[in-house]
Amino acid sequence: MFRGLAAVAFSAGFAGIAASIVSKSLATNDTFAWVAPLSGFAFKLGVAALAASIAASFSMPRRTDLVGHVRGEDDHPLSVPLTLLLVALCGVAVLQVPSLLAWGREELSILRSALGVDSDPLGLNVVPMTMVLSLPVMAALTIALFVVTSLLPIVAPSQLAWRLIGSCVLLQLGYVAAGFIVVGEVRTIGEVLAPLLADDPTAARQVSEWIARHDAAASATSQRLAWTCLGYVVAAVVASSSRAVTRTEGVQPTIEPGLMAPAATAPVSQPHAVPVVSAAAARFDESEYSVHPRMTLIEAWFTRKCTNFEIRAIPHRTKHWFSFSWDTGGLRHEPGGAELLRLKPAKPPGLFLTRRYDVVDPGTGETIAKFIPRGSDWEIEDPYGNIAGRVLCDSSAFGSVTYRALVGDSEVCHFKWALAGLSTSAAQLEIVFRADGAAWPRLDRGIAVAIAPILEQQARLANERRNP
C-alpha cells in the first residue's frame, strides 16, 4: 500500500510538472492566455508531490530488511508508549472517514445542481466531476496513508520503526501540502471568475456559493489532516528516541581497573545452528544446475502445477542427472538411481497457500532439515529448530524471479527463475553455487536442490498471477 500511495504521488507530481510546462507554452497564445495562472499552481503541486514521493521511497527500508524473523535478527518489542500513540493516531484518522464521506456527497450534490438533470450522451460531465472530487479523493488517500503509517511499525522489526514512520511522514507531508495548494487555487479561481460573471448574477451566485461551501469543507478537512500528520511527526521522534535508548541499554558496562568484577555466573548454554549435511550433498559437485518442469498437456493448460522436474548440471552431463516428483516427494539420481532426499508432505505449494516441509533421509527416515515459509521467503531449520539458512526473494519483475540462499549474512547460492520461451511452461529455475561455497559458512547442496522445486513452482504461479 505504501508503494502504491507513493506511486500515485509520483504520477501526480509528474503530471503537474508536465501541465506547468504545457500551460506556460500555451499562455503565449492570446487565445489561451487564461491558462497562464495555472502554470504556477501546477508547478507547485508537481514539485511537492514529486519531492515527497521520491524522498519517501528512498528512505523506506528494503523489503528484505523488513522481514525480521526471516533474517534471524534479534528484535526488541516496540515500546508501549509508541504503540499506543500509533494506535491512537490510527483511530483519529479513521474517525475522519464519516466527515470525508459527507464532504464528497455534498460536493456531488452541488455539482448536480449546477449541471442540471439533462442527459450527457458525450460524457462531458466527467471532467467537472473529476475536478470537484479530486480533493476528497486526495484526503481519502491521506487517511489511508495514516493507517499504513500506524500498521507498518507494529508488524515490522522495531529497530526500523523510526525509518518506517519517517518515510511515511515524508509522503504524508506531500499529500497534505498538495491539499493546501489545491484549496488555495480554488480560492484564486473564485477571485478570477467573479468579474467575468458580473453580467450573470445567477451564475455568479452559484459559483460564489459553491466556492464558499467547498472552501469551508476543504479547509476544515485539510487542517485536521495537518494536525494528524503532526502527530505522526511526534511518533517519529518518539521512535527515534526509543531506538537510541535501546541501543544504549544494549551496551555492556565496563569495569574500571581496581574494581572487583562481579561474581561469575554459570554459563547458560545457547542453541547454535550447525551446518546441515546430508548424504546427498556429495552428489551435487557442480557449480550450476537447471531445474526444468516436465509438464504434461493437462498441467500446462489447466492445473498450472507441475508434478515432475528434471534437474541437470549446466552444461548437461549424464552422471549429473537428477529428478524430483511430487507424487512421492522424492529427489532421485537418474537414470534409475536411488532416492537421495524426500520432502514431506509430498504436496506442491499453491497460489495462496504455503506449507512447511520436512526434508527426510530415505535411508534412516530421520528429518534432517525443515523448510518454513515466511511470506515469499523461507527459513531452513536444522532438526533442533535452529536457523541453518534463509532463502530470500530479492526481486521479482516481469518474466523473472530471483532468490538468494544465505547462511548468516553470507550468500552461498542464488536461484533465478526466468522464461525460456513464450509461456511459463517453458521456464526453468537455475541454481548457481558460489565458487567459495565449500568454505564456511556453507549450506548442504542437497538441501539447496531439494528446495528448488518449491521455489520454481512458487515463482511460476506468481508470474502467472501477475501476467495472466
Give the pLDDT confidence of 51-71 residue by residue, as tens digits. 988 998 888 887 666 664 444
Give the DSSP H or E segment for 134. helix 126-155
pLDDT at 278 over 50: yes
Decide if 406 is inside a domain: yes
Same domain, 339 and 201: no
Same domain, 315 and 442: yes
Same domain, 231 and 363: no
Provide the domain limits for residue 56: 2-118+125-248
Which of 248, 264, 293 is where one domain is finished? 248
Same domain, 203 and 112: yes
Range among 11-20, 292-301, 395-404 rated most confident: 11-20
pLDDT at 244 over 80: no
User: Mind listing the pLDDT tens digit for each residue in 131-188?
Assistant: 667 778 888 899 999 999 998 888 777 778 888 888 899 999 988 888 888 777 766 6
Are residues 148 and 164 in contact, defined by beta-carbon separation less than 8 angstroms?
no
pLDDT at 385 over 60: yes
Same domain, 397 and 334: yes
Same domain, 321 and 427: yes
Decide if 264 is inside a domain: no
- Average pLDDT value over all residues in the chain: 76
pLDDT score recorded for residue 132: 66
Q: State how many domains the chain has.
A: 2
Same domain, 230 and 286: no
Which candidate, 137, 136, 115, places its Cα nearest to that of 126?
A: 115
Query: How far is the C-alpha of 6 from the C-alpha of 391, rounded, in Å?
Result: 28
Decide if 257 is inside a domain: no
Same domain, 35 and 183: yes
Decide if 405 is inside a domain: yes
Query: How far is the C-alpha of 206 from the C-alpha of 137, rounded, in Å?
Result: 23
Phi, psi of 47 (to 5 degrees): -65, -45
Same domain, 242 and 382: no
User: Mind listing the pLDDT tens digit for each residue in 197-207?
Assistant: 666 676 666 66
Query: How far is the C-alpha of 279 from the C-alpha of 340, rounded, in Å?
Result: 7
What's the whole-number mean pLDDT along residues 84-93?
Answer: 91
Amino acid at 346: A
pLDDT score recorded for residue 268: 40
pLDDT at 87 over 70: yes
pLDDT score recorded for residue 143: 92
Query: How far is the C-alpha of 99 from the C-alpha of 97, rounded, in Å?
Result: 6
Amino acid at 280: A
Q: Give the pLDDT band of residue 189 (cuts 50, 70, 90).
A: low
Decide if 297 is inside a domain: yes
Same domain, 243 and 374: no
Decide if 187 is inside a domain: yes
Query: How far is the C-alpha of 133 from the C-alpha of 382, rounded, in Å?
Result: 56
Which of 196, 231, 248 is where one domain is finished? 248
Decide if 100 is inside a domain: yes
Same domain, 56 and 152: yes
Q: Is 360 helix (H, G, I), strand (E, B) or coil?
A: strand
pLDDT at 270 over 50: no
Which candidate, 449, 417, 403, places its Cα nearest to that of 311?
A: 449
The residue ranking higher by pLDDT, 340 or 77, is: 340
Give the DSSP H or E segment for 377. strand 377-381
Decide if 394 is inside a domain: yes
Which of 231, 248, 265 is where one domain is finished? 248
Q: Give the pLDDT band of residue 420 (cuts 50, 70, 90).
A: low
Query: How far is the C-alpha of 401 from the C-alpha of 276, rounded, in Å?
Result: 26
Burial (CB < 10 A; 0-12, 13-18, 19+), residue 358, is middle
Instruction: Report residue 1 as a C-alpha cell.
Output: 500500500
| DSSP code string of 147-177 | HHHHHHHHHS-GGGHHHHHHHHHHHHHHHHH
Region of 399 on the Ramachandran plot (φ > 0 left; ψ -120 to 50 alpha; else beta): left
Same domain, 408 and 462: yes
Q: Among the residues of 250-304, which ranges form H helices?
A: 297-298
Are residues 354 and 373 in contact, defined by beta-carbon separation less than 8 angstroms?
yes
pLDDT at 273 over 60: no
